[in-house]
Structure 1
Amino acid sequence: MLKKLFQAFRPSQSQSLPDPDAELALGALLVRIAQSDRAYVLEEISLIDRILARLYEHNAIEAAKVRATCEKLHAAAPETDTFGRLIRETTGLEERLAALDALWEVVLADRREHEGEVQIVQDACKAMGLSVMDNKRARDKARAKLATEPTDREDV
C-alpha cells in the first residue's frame, strides 16, 4: 500500500518519442535554432507552426502538435548533422532547399543573426548535402522576405 502511495507521487514514465522522419527532423532543427539563443519567444514558436503548416499542409492545431513533438525530439536530441542527414536521405533537392529556407526564416525571426543559430544552419546545410552557395541563396531569400514584412507583426 505504501509503495503505491509513493508511486502516485513519482512522475510517470515519459512517452516514447516517434522515430523522426524528414518533417520531425526539420521541426527539431527549427526548434533547436529558435532555442539556441535561450530566448524561445512566441514569435519564433508561431513562425515554426506556420512553416510546418505551409510545408506539410497542416492546419494550425496539427502544426502545433508537430512542433510540440519536435520540441521533445530536440530535447532528447541527436546531433544537428543526424537530423540533416535524415532530411538528405529521405527528401529530394527541392524539399531540402525549402528546409534550408525555413531554417533561415527562424534564424531571422528576431531580425538578428546569432552566431549559434548560424552555426546550426551551416551544420544542417552541410549534412543535407547542400552547398555554401545554396546556403547563401537561402539566407538572402530570407533577408529579402523579412525586408518586405512589417516590423510589427499582427499574425503572431
Structure 2
Amino acid sequence: MFDRILALLRAPAADFTLMPEADARHALGALLVRVAKADGAYLFQEIEEIDHLLADLYNLNAVEAARMRAECEKLEAAMPDTSELAHILSCDVTSHERDGLVRALWQVADSDGQRHDTEMQVVAIATQTFGMSPEAAAALRA
C-alpha cells in the first residue's frame, strides 16, 4: 500500500485542463490567444484582456473565464491553421456578431500597447476568412 502512495506522489502532475470541442466559443478564444502569442510574448495584459472579453461575451465569472482561456490555449496549440480556427467561428456567427469578434481580436492585439505585424497578420487571416475586407477590419480597430 505504501508503495502505491509513494508512486502517486512521485508521478508527474497530470494536466487537468481538457481539450475543448472546436466550437465557435472556443475557436474565438483560441484566436484571441493566437493573436496574443503572435509576437512571441504572451503578456499578462493580453491574458487579462482575453479573460475580460470571454467573461463579457459569454457571461462568465473570472474563474470560469480563466478556465475557458486555459481550454482555448490547448485548442490554439493543437490547431496550427489560423484560417481553420476562423472558419469554425465564421460558420456559427452572424455578420453583426463578426464585427464584435473582430473588435475583440483588435483589443487583444492592442492590449500590450504595441503594434506588431505578426498580430496584425493573424487578424488579417481571420477577417479574410470571415469574408471581411481589410478596410472594414481596419475601421473596426478605430
TM-score class, shorter-chain normalisation, is 0.7 to 0.9
CA distance in structure 2 between the partners assigned to 1:114 and 1:78 by the alignment: 20
Partner of 1:31: 33
For normalisation by structure 2, the TM-score amounts to 0.85
For normalisation by structure 1, the TM-score amounts to 0.78
CA distance in structure 1 between the partners assigned to 2:82 and 2:136 by the alignment: 18
Match of 1:39, SS state, is coil
Query: In angstroms, what is the RMSD of aligned CA positions?
Result: 2.3
Deviations 1:32-64 (A, max 9, x none): 111112211111101000001111111111111
CA distance in structure 2 between the partners assigned to 1:41 and 1:12 by the alignment: 25
How many residues are paired up? 138
Residue identity over aligned pairs, in percent, reads 39
Partner of 2:82: 80
CA-CA distance at 1:9 after TM superposition: 4.2
CA distance in structure 1 between the partners assigned to 2:15 and 2:29 by the alignment: 24
> Could you say which structure has the greater relative contact order, defined with CA pairs below 8 angstroms and 6 or more residues apart?
2
1:67 maps to a residue whose letter is R
Structure 2 stretches lacking a partner, 5+ long: none
- Stretches of 4+ moved more than 3 A in 1? 8-16
Deviations 1:47-106 (A, max 9, x none): 000001111111111111110000111111241101111111111112111110000001
Match of 1:46, SS state, is helix
Give runs of aligned pairs for residues 129-148 of structure 1, distance below 5 A: 129-140=131-142
